[in-house]
Structure 1
Amino acid sequence: MAPPDRSDTPRDTGILEEAGIQSDSNMRHNAERLASWLEFLLHPEEHEYDRTVIYGTEFGGEGHKKEEPGPVAPSSSDQPGTVPSDAQLPFESVLEGYQISQFIHGMSAVASPVVESADNALAPGAAALSNIWWMGDKRVPSLVDQFQQLGWEGDASTVTFDFLLRLQTVTGQVHKLAEQLHDVIPKYAVVIKGVRHNLDEAAAGCVRAFEKKFAEKPATELSVDWGAVILAGIAAAAVTYMTAGTALILEAAITSAWSTAFTDAAGDLLKPSGGAVSGYWWRDLAHSYLRKQADILEDGKNEIDQLNRKVDGLIKYFNNDQDIQKFLADYGPRP
């Protein structure tokens, strides 16, 4: 249900574009519905429905405020039915002081990154790490085995074989790092997806709460549940995807690899949960929603921090591994 005399689309969609919530975003529908209700609630001067009436100012006092379902006439007025504007007590929005941008702040924070399709910044890295894993697990050990069957003897053969043995040791260590890093990469994308889904569900829950509050005007606090997902145990979750690749990372391989990695990670990391937008006054409902928005963003940040710590640990392991660093010193690029 849209606000009276309005649609599910706000009159001004520019604020959504400015927030990066474009027309093709999965969050756009609920962002529009929420923004339309907020436009309505923030501008009671455009209608004769819910507003906060300021009582007592007609007698020179500072007045007190109370939510009302429509205009209120001064006590000295005897206007039946709809109160003319010149006979209304002063009023303001039931959400006075709030701005629409506060309610779509969370959506804006995660609206831009491309994560589900293969044309994102993480996908080539996942495919490259898959190739590194494959080289360390299959190709270099196979090369060492085949070299021993060549029957090549002499000093050059000895030097070459020593090099291959060192290479096998180093690629084995790098293989372990690549395997763990490969597990981490799609999890960044899944965190973004999960946060988006949660924020979208929370916005839908807020809209349902607004609709119920307006239509039913309940005498007690109302609560509207919304289904969502939680981001649970990302650092420990198992991503089983590993694939044999080729030395060349082709676009088709990246697409296939990312689709599998993302799907596997999402299956392990996104688990059903739920939440509620609750309260009695309009401001209660707004505060409840904004609290949920902040909690969702905080949960997402904590999950990203876990991943960052894991990556930082793997980088330190690489930098401190004596075999790897000695090999790079002996055979790496010269300045």
Structure 2
Amino acid sequence: MAPPDRKPDLDAPEKYNLDLDFHHSPEISVWADWLLHPEQHDYWRIYVYPSGDKEEFPRRSKQWEQENPVTTESVIQGLYVEQFFDPAQGLSGQKLGDATIMHLTGQGLINASWRVEDWSDRLAGGFEDVRKYWDNSTACTNAGDFLGAINTYAKKHAEITAQMAVVLLRYASTIKASRQRLDEAMKQLVDAFHTKHYASDTPTGKILAAAISVIAATALTAVTAGGSSVVAPAVAAGMATLVDKVAGAALEEDVKQEITEIKGQSWRSIVDSYFFAQAEILKRAGDEVGALKSEITKLKAELARLAPIPELKVGPC
């Protein structure tokens, strides 16, 4: 949907450095430009009277302008097209799909955690199988201590690696869910613009923000199946699939997370409600990313503090 005699600006994503997930940027770009330049058409404008009072008019009247000492300005005077895309730019550029660094790293963390814990269990089981053939010599005690230390290290390493995978999954899912919500806000703005101009009605559209708590809980469940160990189904699913799953769960939960409505009597009030909705969505995403930075710093420190595996002292059994 576009204003009269205009078409969506298909170059908008490239022009404003936007991710392709923002499908409604071509429409917003042309609407904003149209509203900012009333001198290019005979539709919506604000007439400013000598007293300083302002009034919004749906059409230009050249005769009325000649008979009254007024000046003309845009119905969204003082804004600029790029301003409509500021939050979207902040959520653009992060590569989340298959074969990206984020995908490969996340999948590697999940695989590493699952395999380390799997082999740790096999090692412990194998040790118990042969233990009955050993006597109580010092060498056997040393071997037992060594294998016990390996098992402890592996278990903790697997746990930290899984938590790192959860952090990465939460990050990617937050970006994806927030993009979808911003794109929904863009759609609601386009609908409001269309309604305002073509229907002369009061437009309204509810905008929701991704539920961060749901992202956190679903990410943990997706990687750990709700427990302390990574399971094969998570490995088989693939990181990109898990991102879609977690982001989708957050968006479904959004029915309980109403933020604001894009509505207003004037063009400027419609735009202001859109800016407010975007700011709320971006703030939630920023809060989550900030928390994840702290979490990964803590996990890196835990990994560095892991006790080294003791030297194996061999001797006759």
Q: AA paired with 1:239? A: T
Alignment CA distance shift 1:21-1:263 (3 Å): closer
Partner of 2:152: 169
Alpha-carbon distance between aligned partners in 2 of 1:185 and 1:77, rounded to the nearest angstrom: 63
Structure 1: segments with no counterpart, 5+ residues? 57-61, 79-86, 246-252
The change in CA–CA distance for 1:131 and 1:77 in structure 2 (over 3 A counts) is: closer
Change (3 A) 1:254 1:33: farther
Please report the TM-score for the alignment, with normalisation by the length of structure 2: 0.81
Q: 2-side partners of 1:4 and 1:267: how far apart? A: 36
Q: For residue 67 of structure 1, give the secondary structure of its aligned residue in structure 2.
A: strand
Residue type of the alignment partner of 1:300: A
Q: Does 1:26 align with 2:21?
A: yes
Amino acid at match of 1:71: R
- Paired with 2:145 and 2:94, the residues of 1 have a C-alpha distance of 46
Summarize the Cα distance change of 1:71–1:255 in structure 2 as closer, same or farther, 3 Å threshold.
farther
Following superposition, the deviation at residue 160 of structure 1 comes to 4.9
CA contact (8 A) 1:135 1:171 kept: no
2:2 match: 2
Question: Which of 129, 134, 142 is the aligned partner of 2:114?
Answer: 134
Residue type at the aligned position of 2:247: A
Question: Which amino acid in structure 2 is aligned with residue 126 of structure 1?
Answer: G
Distance 1:26 1:88 in 2: 47
Q: 1:100 aligns with which of 81, 103, 108?
A: 81
- How far residue 76 of structure 1 moved from its aligned partner, in angstroms, is 9.0
**CA distance in 1: counterparts of 2:167 and 2:193, whole angstroms:** 39
Structure 2 residue corresponding to 1:119, chosen from 72, 96, 99: 99
Match of 2:272 in 1: 287
CA distance in 2, matches of 1:145, 1:139: 10
Asked if 2 retains the 8 angstrom alpha-carbon contact of 1:277 and 1:288, the reply is: yes
Are residue 210 (structure 1) and residue 205 (structure 2) matched?
no
Displacement of 1:177 in angstroms is 1.6
Of 39, 46, 64, the residue aligned with 2:53 is 64
What is the root-mean-square deviation in Å for CA atoms of aligned residues? 3.1
Shift of 1:199: 0.8
User: In 2, are the aligned partners of 1:201 and 1:226 still within 8 Å (CA)?
Assistant: no
1:180 to 128, 147, 163: 163
1:319 deviates by 3.8
Identity over the aligned pairs, expressed in percent? 26
Q: Does 1:51 align with 2:48?
A: no
CA contact (8 A) 1:140 1:171 kept: yes
* Residue in 1 that maps onto 2:315: none
Aligned to 1:258, which of 239, 246, 253? 239
1:307 shift after superposition: 2.5
Residue type matched to 1:5 in 2? D
Closer, same or farther: CA 90–255 of 1 in aligned 2, 3 Å: farther
Distance 1:156 1:21 in 2: 64
> C-alpha displacement at 1:98, in angstroms?
0.3
Residue 111 of structure 1 aligns to a residue whose secondary structure is coil
Distance 1:254 1:121, change over 3 A: farther
Give yes or no for contact 1:118–1:255 (8 Å, CA) kept in 2.
Answer: no
Q: CA deviation at 1:280?
A: 1.1
CA contact (8 A) 2:107 2:238 kept: yes
Task: Map Cα deviations across residues 155-209 of structure 1 (whole Å, 9 max, x no partner).
Answer: 7766555332211111111122223222222111111111111111111111111
Unmatched segments (≥5 aa) in structure 2: 224-229, 313-317
The structure 2 residue matched to 1:40, chosen from 20, 24, 34, is 34
Q: Give the residue type in structure 2 aligned to 1:317.
A: E
The code of the aligned residue for 1:283 comes to R
Provide the rounded CA distance (Å) in 2 between the counterparts of 1:88 and 1:72. Answer: 13
How many pairs does the alignment contain? 297
Structure 1 counterpart of 2:238, one-letter code: A
Amino acid of the structure 2 residue aligned with 1:167: I
Q: Quick check: 306-315 or 288-297, which moved more?
A: 306-315
- Counterparts of 1:74 and 1:174 in 2: how far apart (Å)? 79
Q: 1:281 to 1:263 in 2, by over 3 A?
A: closer
Per the alignment, residue 250 of structure 1 pairs with none
Deviation digits for residues 62-108 of structure 1 (CA, Å, limit 9, x no counterpart): 64322112334577946xxxxxxxx9842111111101111011111
8 Å Cα contact 1:198/1:228 also seen in 2:
yes
Paired residue for 1:81? none
Show the counterpart of 1:83: none
Between Structure 1 and Structure 2, the one with more helix by share is 2
Q: In 2, are the aligned partners of 1:204 and 1:226 still within 8 Å (CA)?
A: no
